[in-house]
Amino acid sequence: MVEPETLTFLSDLAANNRKIWLDANRDARDDAMRNFTGIAMTLHDYAERFDPFVAQTRLKPKQSYSKFFQEPRDRVGKGLYRTDVDIFANAGNPTEDVGYYLHIEPGNCHAGAGVFHPTKDAVAGLRARMLDDPSGFHDVLAAPDFKAAFPGGIVTRKPQGDLPDTVAPDHALAPYLQMVGFGCRHDLSDEQVQDHDIIDDLIDIFRAASGLVRFFD
């Protein structure tokens, strides 16, 4: 699934996060991007086994993973480039809609579902959906398969933001409504993501996460 050379490239990029280095290693970058495209195609090919809506969506492989260059307003850390990649299996846009993902980062690989870098409109829509059906949201989190696959529950990659003006700080959903992008994650080792049989594990992980995706459809 994930080629060893891809993990090596990401590790090297983390140690040399400069344009001059990346320009000198374009072949390694291009090989990694081909690997990401291949993984996106594989996830789409198997999507019928975890989400028929994803299977029915037209695949755009080169738009199915996050890009290396970081726009200034979205930059994390001091580097120009991301040293991790999310590969998506979505029925919609990964910055607008909750979908499935495989996160590739040496020593920090994981998979699950969510929308971690949403637009402002998407954040508003996610909050509105939770407030419209709080019991339904809690039912998703309480499902046995979800709890078994994602013992950490809902997580976020960004600092918590302000609550909507209409929500009290002691509201049951307050921790989730403050999140700027969120999802669930199941940790995977570097060895696991390089195994050709990892697709079976990913299908199980995505099935467990499907309730979260369907809730926000």
Give the per-residue pLDDT at 73: 55
Contact 89, 100 (CB under 8 A): yes
pTM for this predicted structure: 0.91
- Burial of 37 (C-beta count, 10 Å sphere; 0-12/13-18/19+): middle
In the chain, what are the domain boundaries?
4-69+81-215
**pLDDT in single tens digits along all 217 residues of the chain:** 899 999 999 999 999 999 999 999 999 999 999 999 999 999 999 999 999 999 999 988 778 998 887 655 555 666 678 899 999 999 988 889 999 999 999 999 999 999 988 988 999 999 999 999 999 999 999 999 999 999 999 999 877 778 877 888 889 999 999 998 999 999 999 999 999 899 999 999 999 999 999 999 8
Burial class from Cβ neighbours inside 10 Å (0-12, 13-18, 19+) for residue 206 reads buried
What is the token pair recorded at 144? 């046995």
Six-digit token string for 153: 């529950």
CB atoms within 10 A of CB 129: 16
pLDDT at 70: 61
pLDDT at 87: 95
Q: What is the CA radius of gyration of the chain?
A: 18
